[in-house]
Amino acid sequence: MNLRIGQGYDVHKLAAGYEFWLGGILIPYELGSVGHSDGDVLIHAICDAILGAACLRDIGYHFPDTDNAYKNIDSKILLQDTLELIKKEGYYINNIDATVCLQKPKVKDYIPKMRDVLAEILEIDKNTLSIKATTTEQLGFVGRREGVEAHAVVLLIKE
């Protein structure tokens, strides 16, 4: 059995006039994620963790922001495509642990739905997908509500 650990990180600026997509769901908020795609920082971090674990580079390599095919794309599609990339290499996901860092909005009530949505896309049991949220105690760009960041760690298995 071949085990691979991958770590992912992403950050997006928050601004008025954008939707706030997080973990595959739309969250009502006065600010949204600025990005070439829908700006779903959590999905992007998970994609990078998965791709990194399989030594398949990163999300920007596979889905570059210079390609208009990905302009305003639903990040759930990127996640599905990422899963297909690792399946071709013979990997499957054992578990994911992710953390979202944002001052506002409070997202704890949305986490169960995020887990449902992401687990279905990734074809994993939702009990193998941990999503946590934290603030930065009003420190830094996250604390000033200028941006949102996410971290993810994944364990892949190849038998």
Beta strand pairing call for 25-26 and 147-158: unpaired
Binding-site residue positions:
10-12, 36-37, 44, 58-60, 63-67, 134-137, 141, 144
Residue 150, Cβ density class (10 Å: 0-12 exposed, 13-18 middle, ≥19 buried): buried
State how far the alpha carbon of 44 is from the alpha carbons of 36, 48, 92, 137, in Å. Answer: 12, 6, 18, 24
Binding-site members for a divalent metal cation are: 10, 12, 44
Paired sense of beta strands 25-26 and 21-22, if any: antiparallel
